[in-house]
């Protein structure tokens, strides 16, 4: 039963519950006209303490396409946060007006804290370098759509594996599936954090290998999950400048890959995927963007406990 629950990290839901959301997302994607008014009279609040294009717009589009309404801020400076109002009071206040809250916050753990004070379901739309569970749902849905399965896969994750919250969320979610081999490709400075390796990768006896060069492993991959170097999380500009162009996936590198490789990216991209790759049938990232809206439509419906019109 997902009605009334919060979604703070992917492992809050069992595999069966994640499947339930993805199955509904697939049904909505096939027949969106069947879901036009299911959230009529319901209100979604979006609290974005950090910038966003896809997550905020896809949540807002999702609620509007379900017939509901949206309030919120994309810039906390335009709210009473600028006067020093606490997260606790903001959540209590917004929960008094809305039926469901989506929040992005720069501080790791902020949604765990906020969920103590909400009267309505709370969805984490990304907290610092920690988790981004609705991106993960989108990624799982897109992997399932592109490969027809979520097990028996070799998954390459490439780029900023230290600060990339989508990477941490995806590894956690995929660790529940069988016969997954993770290939972690990053400069030594941007490897998966030590705590994450110890608790999630080693802690669950997951199969993983670390590489520095993408070319050395791209032929083996079923999925290549590219990520940008997260400028906003660096402590020093010189390190960012040195590392920002560590990887560029282009047509030449793709020649080394399998014919049925699926290239995913949570976006935004900077330079890590050349524009020429966009027209390659193996480029799934813009289909992934659109899937994000269907997945969020399904999640809103499940957490609000609304059903398709008869």
Asked if residue 15 lies in contact with residue 277, where contact means CB atoms within 8 angstroms, the answer is no
Q: Closest Cα to residue 125, out of 104, 151, 95, 152? A: 104
Residue 99 CB, nearest distance to ligand CP (Å)? 22
Specify the residue, 139 or 222, whose C-beta has the smaller distance to ligand CP. Answer: 139
| 265 contributes a contact to ligand CP by CB under 6 A | no
- x/- string (CB under 6 A) for ligand CP, residues 54-93? xx--------------------------------------
Query: Which of the stretches 48-56, 188-196, 242-250, 293-301 binds ligand CP when contact is defined by CB under 6 A?
Result: 48-56
Of the candidate residues 53, 80, 204, 309, the single one contacting ligand CP (CB under 6 A): 53
| 230 contributes a contact to ligand CP by CB under 6 A | no
| 136 contributes a contact to ligand CP by CB under 6 A | no
Of the candidate residues 6, 46, 52, 227, the single one contacting ligand CP (CB under 6 A): 52
Half-sphere exposure of 24 (CA within 13 A, CB side): 22
Specify the residue, 65 or 296, whose C-beta has the smaller distance to ligand CP. Answer: 296
Specify the residue, 142 or 154, whose C-beta has the smaller distance to ligand CP. Answer: 142
Residue 204, exposed/middle/buried by CB under 10 A (0-12, 13-18, 19+)? Answer: exposed
Interface positions with ligand CP (CB under 6 A) = 52-55, 126, 135, 266-268
């Amino acid at each position: 039963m997902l009605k009334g629950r919060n979604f703070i990290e992917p492992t809050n839901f069992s595999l069966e519950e994640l499947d339930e959301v993805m199955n509904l997302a697939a049904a909505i994607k096939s027949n969106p006209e069947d879901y036009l008014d299911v959230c009529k009279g319901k209100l979604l609040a979006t609290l974005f303490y950090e910038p966003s294009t896809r997550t905020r717009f896809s949540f807002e589009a999702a609620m509007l396409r379900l017939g509901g309404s949206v309030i919120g801020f994309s810039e906390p400076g335009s709210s009473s946060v600028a006067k020093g109002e606490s997260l606790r009071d903001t959540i209590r206040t917004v929960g008094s007006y809305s039926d469901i809250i989506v929040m992005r916050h720069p501080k790791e753990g902020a949604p765990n804290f906020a969920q103590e004070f909400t009267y309505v379901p709370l969805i984490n739309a990304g907290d610092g370098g920690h988790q981004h569970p609705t991106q993960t749902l989108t990624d799982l849905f897109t992997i399932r759509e592109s490969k027809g399965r979520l097990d028996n896969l070799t998954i390459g994750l490439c780029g900023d594996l230290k600060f990339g919250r989508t990477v941490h969320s995806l590894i956690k979610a995929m660790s529940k599936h069988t016969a997954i081999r993770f290939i972690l490709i990053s400069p030594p400075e941007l490897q998966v954090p030590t705590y994450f390796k110890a608790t999630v990768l080693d802690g669950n006896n997951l199969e993983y290998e670390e590489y520095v060069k993408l070319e050395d492993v791209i032929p083996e991959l079923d999925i290549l999950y590219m990520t940008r170097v997260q400028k906003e999380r660096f402590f020093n500009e010189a390190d960012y400048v040195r590392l920002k162009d560590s990887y560029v996936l282009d047509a030449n590198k793709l020649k080394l890959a399998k014919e049925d490789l699926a290239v995913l990216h949570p976006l935004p991209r900077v330079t890590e995927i050349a524009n020429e790759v966009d027209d390659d049938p193996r480029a799934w990232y813009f289909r992934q963007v659109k899937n994000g809206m269907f997945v969020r439509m399904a999640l809103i419906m499940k957490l609000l406990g609304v059903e398709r019109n008869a």
